[in-house]
């Protein structure tokens, strides 16, 4: 049972709420528009199953800011038919990180666009910034920006997983996939528990495209770290550690090179402005 659900609503503000030990998902925002959540604290044990902190589905124009989330599942999860989701100053841990998905289960369509995370601390989470889709799905994830994120002893800090499988039996190999494109990681720093600090496991038939890394520095606690790519196209600039040379690049269409700071995704205009917060 969920602790709090906002469903089929608009113009909602939630502030200063504490949710503790929900039986299932703590806070759901469903089929709603213009929802602003601030200073919400979620507390569930790190081993509690299916206790997502804030779960967003079928919703648009959602702002989360100054939220502290500890849980046994995703701190924030964003799933199908959600767009213009803005997150600012999010603390996550314990938990499974900040996730888009899962999408595409049972050959379904998943669409998530215009997601911005600006300023977050993830501490001892099992994933960091994750996009997860099942094989066989359709739809797309695009215009996503993760910026100014600090990781502390995080497993899988940067992860795109298009082979996600949470079924009791193994998932069948399928060729269709949710298309993932125009994803930017900027100013991502900290420590990782995983040797593969950056992992882009993308579909062979529907590759990830326009993946951009800008000033990413992830250090392993116990030795070397590396990046892994499968069917992922993009590039990095600034300091990139571990090196993401496994990204391949065809062209830079979709990027604006007029900025002196380097390429900027079309999501730039979706970035949270001070006037909004």
Q: Is the dihedral of CA 41, 61, 113, 23 positive or negative?
A: positive
- Confidence (pLDDT) at 251: 54
- Confidence (pLDDT) at 48: 95
Query: 146 with 184: CB under 8 angstroms?
Result: yes
Residue 179, CA atoms < 13 Å, CB-side half-sphere = 10
96 noted as active-site residue: yes
Q: Checking DSSP bridges between strand 60-70 and strand 82-92, what pairing results, if any? A: parallel
Among the listed residues 253, 164, 233, 246, the one whose alpha carbon sits nearest the alpha carbon of residue 197: 246
Q: Which of 55, 96, 241, 250 is catalytic?
A: 96
- Confidence (pLDDT) at 103: 98
Taking CA atoms, 75 is separated from 72, 84, 181, in Å, by 8, 18, 23
pLDDT by residue for the chain (277 residues), tens only, comes to 899 999 999 999 999 999 999 999 999 999 999 999 999 999 999 999 999 999 999 999 999 999 999 999 999 999 999 999 999 999 999 999 999 999 999 999 999 999 999 999 999 999 999 999 999 999 999 999 999 999 999 999 999 999 999 888 889 999 999 999 999 999 999 999 999 999 999 999 999 999 999 999 999 977 789 999 999 999 999 999 999 999 998 654 444 433 333 333 433 334 444 344 4
What SS3 class is residue 211? strand
How far apart CA 159 and CA 50 sit, in angstroms, is: 20
Among the listed residues 90, 76, 43, the one whose alpha carbon sits nearest the alpha carbon of residue 277: 90
Q: What global pTM score does this model have?
A: 0.91
- Confidence (pLDDT) at 221: 78
Residue 29, preceding peptide bond in cis (omega within 30° of 0): no
Residue 21: which region, alpha, beta or left (left: phi > 0; alpha: psi -120 to 50)?
Answer: left
Kindly list the domain boundaries of the chain, sorted by start residue: 1-73, 97-260
Superfamily of domain 97-260: Single-stranded right-handed beta-helix, Pectin lyase-like (2.160.20.10)
Q: Is the dihedral of CA 131, 84, 75, 147 positive or negative?
A: positive
């Amino acid at each position: 049972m969920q602790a709090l659900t906002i469903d089929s609503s608009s113009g909602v503000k939630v502030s200063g709420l504490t949710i503790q030990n929900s039986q299932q998902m703590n806070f759901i925002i469903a089929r709603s528009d213009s929802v602003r959540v601030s200073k919400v604290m979620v507390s569930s044990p790190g081993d509690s199953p299916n206790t997502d902190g804030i779960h967003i589905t079928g919703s648009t124009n959602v702002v989360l800011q100054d939220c502290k989330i500890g849980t046994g599942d995703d701190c924030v999860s964003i799933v199908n038919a959600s767009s213009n989701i803005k997150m600012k100053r999010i603390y996550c841990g314990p938990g499974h990180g900040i996730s888009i998905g899962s999408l595409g289960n049972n050959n379904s369509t998943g669409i998530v666009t215009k997601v911005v995370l600006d300023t977050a601390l993830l501490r001892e989470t099992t994933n960091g910034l994750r996009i997860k889709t099942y094989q066989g799905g359709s739809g797309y994830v695009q215009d996503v920006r993760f910026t100014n994120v600090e990781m502390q002893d995080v497993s899988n800090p940067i992860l795109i997983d298009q082979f996600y499988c949470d079924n009791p039996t193994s998932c069948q190999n399928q060729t269709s996939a949710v298309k993932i494109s125009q994803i930017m990681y900027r100013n991502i720093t900290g420590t990782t528990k995983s040797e593969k600090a950056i992992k882009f496991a993308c579909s062979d038939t529907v590759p990830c495209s326009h993946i951009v890394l800008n000033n990413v520095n992830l250090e392993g606690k116990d030795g070397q770290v590396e990046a892994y790519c499968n069917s992922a196209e993009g590039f990095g600039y600034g300091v990139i550690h571990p090196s993401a040379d496994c990204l391949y690049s065809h062209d830079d269409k979709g990027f604006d090179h007029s900025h002196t700071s380097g390429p900027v995704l079309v999501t730039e205009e979706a970035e949270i402005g001070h006037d909004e917060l």
